[in-house]
Structure 1
Amino acid sequence: MLKELIELGKSMIIAIIAAFLIITFVFETVSVDGHSMDPTLSHKDRLIVEKVSYYFRAPKAGDIVVIKYPANPKEKFIKRVVAVGGDKVRIEGDKLYINNVPKDEPYILEANMRDFNEVTVPENTVFVLGDNRNNSRDSRFSDVGFVSYKMVVGRAALRIYPFSRFGKLTSFNDINDLSVFANNS
């Protein structure tokens, strides 16, 4: 009996350690809190965030990422990377420009946005925006600003709830991705 309890205890410890390692280094689930990513993500959506890819590559424009809120790292935000280190970003006349090229963004909720003066994204940081630009605390605000790679938790990869919207979350890194989005709307 004692031997069985010791084995059970060992198994539980191994399971706890394995769960900790998976949550820390591989993936975790998060819940969307708020409307800053409407219409792409809705309030109360449950997502799986994968962390492995960013050990091997930097976040790319178009990725939907979970970040630690720089003003309070215990809080997490979900945003879209729109620019990476070296890129110039500005919003003018309701249009986002990256390196002076206007971006086609069929995933945003509303086209009208406040103008934002041009900035250059520092190396090893990203510039993030919510898809609901008029209701998003993002890199346009000084308390978020440029987000260091160290503050990026991972990439939102899969929506697991609600079940009616279950599926892979698409990032929009090139024109081919945009045509996929248009076919799915």
Structure 2
Amino acid sequence: MRRYEESIIEFDEIQAPHTKWSTVYEILDSFSWAMLLVMVLFTFFCRPFWVSGNSMEPTLQNHNWVAVTTIGFHAQRGDIVVVTQPNARHEPLIKRIIAVEGDTVDIDVQAHTVSVNGEILDEPYISEPIEKSGDMTFPIRVPQGHVFVMGDNRNDSLDSRSSMIGFIDTRYLAGKAAFRLIPVGQWKIG
């Protein structure tokens, strides 16, 4: 009986021979699970969006990729959003919400200020003073179900100051930019 017990090998000690094909299988298996995770993430939680143009500089640069989410999203002042409303550029826009329904927006080009409901906005995210007010007449009240958006690069942004874009119907807000995907390592959006 003793001889029999000595020849028993624990199942965990047995290892299949490691071949080239088993390595390939392990890599493909890991890759498949990673792709499935990415698909679930981008299907149910967020969508990638490519930034085209420099209207959001310095916050977002041309060719950045951002993750846009609708989870718990309710349009608020300061949110960076993707707008799918048909417009003169015929492409989605990424802009910052300056005012929501019922707010009154005023732009004073001489003083280089943007005011909402009589209060001048503190805008640390812009790099140069505003010099263009567009073709809209200010002050202007944001209608119900709409928002007023502007790019952070105020002097090179086609946004709600122009009648070509105007107020944005909240039904056309694809979501809020949650974090930066590319460039890698610069996740935070200011």
Q: Which TM-score band (shorter chain)?
A: 0.7 to 0.9
Structure 1 consecutive aligned stretches of length 4 or more whose deviation exceeds 4 Å: 21-25
* Counterpart for residue 168 of structure 1: 188
* Counterpart for residue 60 of structure 1: 76
- Gaps of at least 5 residues in structure 1 are 1-14, 171-185
Counterpart amino acid of residue 99 in structure 1: N
Matched, 1:107 2:128: no
* Counterpart for residue 94 of structure 2: 78
* Counterpart for residue 31 of structure 2: none
Q: How many residues align?
A: 151
Q: Which has the higher helix share?
A: 1
* Counterpart for residue 64 of structure 2: 45
83-92 or 70-79, which deviates more: 70-79
* Counterpart for residue 173 of structure 1: none
Of 155, 164, 173, 1:152 maps to 173
Q: Which has the higher strand share?
A: 1
How far is the alpha carbon of 1:73 from its aligned partner?
Answer: 9.2
Q: Would you say the 8 A contact 2:85–2:169 is kept in 1?
A: no
Counterpart amino acid of residue 94 in structure 2: I
Counterpart amino acid of residue 145 in structure 2: N
Q: Secondary structure at the match of 1:167?
A: coil
User: Could you tell me the TM-score, scaled by structure 1's length?
Assistant: 0.73
- Gaps of at least 5 residues in structure 2 are 1-34
* Counterpart for residue 158 of structure 2: 137
Q: 1:126 and 1:24 mapped to 2: Cα distance? A: 26
* Counterpart for residue 115 of structure 2: 97
Larger radius of gyration: 2
* Counterpart for residue 141 of structure 2: 120
Q: Secondary structure at the match of 1:134?
A: helix
User: Could you tell me the TM-score, scaled by structure 2's length?
Assistant: 0.71
Counterpart amino acid of residue 85 in structure 1: E
**Identity fraction in percent:** 37
